[in-house]
C-alpha cells in the first residue's frame, strides 16, 4: 500500500518512467519492423536484378572446344 506521501511525490515520477519505458519499447519495435521491411524490399530488388541477363556478349552458338 502506498502512503499519502508516495502517492503525491513518488507515484507521478514512477508513472512517467513507466510511460517513457513503454514508448521506448514501441519505438524500438517500430524501428525493427521498418528495417525488416526495407531489407525485404532490397532483397526483392536484388532478386530482380539477378534474374535479368545484362551481358551483351553471351554465346548464341555452342562454345568452341
pLDDT tens string 32-47: 999 999 999 999 999 8
C-alpha distances (whole Å) from 22 to each of 8, 12, 17, 18, 42 are 22, 15, 9, 6, 30
pLDDT of residue 54: 67
**Can you tell me the distance from the alpha carbon of 18 to that of 58, in angstroms, rounded to the nearest whole number?**
63
Cell numbers for 37, please give them: 521491411
pLDDT of residue 56 exceeding 70, the answer is no
Q: 2-25 pLDDT, tens per residue?
A: 788 878 888 888 999 999 989 999
* Contact indicator for 33, 42 with CB cutoff of 8 Å: no
Q: Where are the domains of the chain?
A: 10-35
pLDDT of residue 3: 84
The pTM for the full model equals 0.58
Amino acid at each position: 500500500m502506498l502512503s499519502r506521501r508516495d502517492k503525491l511525490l513518488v507515484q507521478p515520477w514512477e508513472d512517467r518512467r513507466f510511460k517513457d519505458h513503454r514508448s521506448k519499447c514501441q519505438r524500438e519495435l517500430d524501428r525493427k519492423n521498418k528495417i525488416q521491411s526495407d531489407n525485404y524490399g532490397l532483397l526483392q530488388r536484388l532478386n530482380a536484378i539477378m534474374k535479368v541477363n545484362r551481358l551483351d556478349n553471351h554465346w548464341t552458338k555452342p562454345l568452341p572446344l
